[in-house]
Amino acid sequence: MQPITLDFNGYTITTDKAQMKVGDLHRWLSTEAYWSVNIPLDTVQTAFDNSFCIGAIIDGRQIAYARLITDYATFAYLADVFVEEGHRGKGISKKMMEILFDIDWVKKLRAIKLATSDAHELYRKYGFKELANPEKNMEIRRADVYR
């Protein structure tokens, strides 16, 4: 699978993991992301290694990220989407989502899910809706696992 890399308003947006900065991802996820405060570096690294990732880089720093946890054939879960505060409002997350959802194998997935507390309108633009059958969905929730 050939990585996608392009320039977007001075940012490099890429699916090439070799260009991404796991240390930058860990710093943000472990201190700023409400869903993963205190997440260990080795956990971020393992998640990164086992996901399809996209990110935005400027001046050698990774300032945006998202990953699809996927089997590349039928299902994906969109996770860890972020843009650093100083870079928000510049269309970076929209461009990353546009790139992700335009990839041929992603277009063929039967289901893509996500959880968000504050970005419903962004994701509706890419076809996400509330669960059709929430009564069929179950989860194990371990909110304190990184403490």
pLDDT of residue 122: 86
So where are the chain's domains? 5-136
Query: Which strand (E) or helix (H) includes residue 41?
Result: helix 41-49
Q: Which residue is listed with tokens 């194990």?
A: 140
Give just the sign of the alpha carbon dihedral 49, 100, 35, 145.
Answer: negative
pLDDT of residue 119: 86
pLDDT of residue 50: 98
Q: Indicate the fold that domain 5-136 takes in CATH.
A: Aminopeptidase (3.40.630)
Task: Please give the model's pTM, rounded to 2 decimal places.
Answer: 0.93
- Which tokens hold the place of 61? 């720093």
Q: What is the pLDDT along the chain (147 residues), one digit of tens a residue?
A: 899 999 999 999 999 999 999 999 999 999 999 889 999 999 999 999 999 999 999 999 999 999 999 999 999 999 999 999 999 999 999 999 999 999 999 999 999 999 998 888 889 999 999 999 999 999 998 878 888
Cα angle 10-55-49, degrees, rounded to a multiple of 5: 150
Phi/psi for 82 (5° steps) reads -155, 155
3-class secondary-structure state, position 97: helix
pLDDT tens digit string along 16-53? 999 999 999 999 999 999 889 999 999 999 999 999 99
